[in-house]
Amino acid sequence: MTDTANAAANHPAPELRIELRHWCEAWKTCLQDLLSQVSGKPGTFEFSNQPLPAADSDLWYTVVAGGAIRGEMTLRLPVASGASLARKFLGETDAAETATEAPSAESISAESKEALEELLRQVAGLAATALAPSAGGEVQLHLSASAAPSWSSDAIVCFQTANAAAAGSPTAHEIIAFEIQVSPALAAELQPRDQPAERPQESSLPQAPPSSSYRRLMDVGLDVKLRFGSRRMLLRDVLALSAGVVVELDNKLHSPVDLLLDGRLIAQGEVVVVDGKYGLRITGVVDPAPAAGAPG
């Protein structure tokens, strides 16, 4: 058991500041929404005053925040909760397991781990979008599997499914619980700012209206495309293509996806699912190369 988990077990979390609660609520809501979307069933998580029991088999994920908010946080899930989330994301049913005893709480398959990480990445993308208005700018959240944090948590928040209170119920082992630990650096970033240092000055500067020619271009539609990867092929291989043939691309599985405008790379990001359709969460905008002879 880690030091931070021991501290959480011995000292119940104090009342959260409104900024921290809003941050954690965004994660809870986005997880609920995504699970409802992929499973077709509504799911509800609630704040829990009881800290999660800690185990060496717990799954840890670090989330690094960038953009308008900077800092770190972690997500901790018991193995059973992680496996249940993975099954829901993969569209597998829990019906067979509700009739028998719960799966081992000490193991999770590699496929389930991969599915769980993808689920949490998509939740992070939704949370980044939801948190941007209150943060005053773009929020970037980068999630990766990790070990327990080396820093002492400024705040620890636990969530669990609403049926957790039904002790002894036949579906008690289906309870999903997870924990958010907020680093001191992230907690400091979420402190209310009475008088931001730079933003008022920027907003007070007069903005030059766009020229009439520029305004006429604003409603022009442009086609953008996503590029997952590419490769060069011999003509004989192209002519031999048929149904069932697999064409391998040069990009790795979790490599950034390119956003192209008229064949030119303008941004990169991560693929997400929005209302049942593919989308791209931008992680970086590519600066165009300066034209020859232009000032650097």
pLDDT, one tens digit per residue, over 4-26 is: 444 444 444 446 678 888 999 99
- Distance (Å, whole) CA 93 – CA 88: 7
CATH homologous superfamily for the domain 3-189: CheC-like (3.40.1550.10)
pLDDT of residue 91: 83
pLDDT digit string, tens, across residues 218-232: 777 788 888 888 888
pLDDT of residue 49: 65
In which residue ranges of the chain is CATH 2.30.330.10 found?
222-296
- Distance (Å, whole) CA 138 – CA 144: 20
Q: May I ask the CATH class of domain 222-296?
A: mainly beta
Burial class (CB in 10 A: 0-12, 13-18, 19+), 22: middle
Total-model pTM? 0.58
In which residue ranges of the chain is CATH 3.40.1550.10 found?
3-189
Residue 209 phi, psi (nearest 5): -65, 145
Return mean pLDDT, the chain. Answer: 77
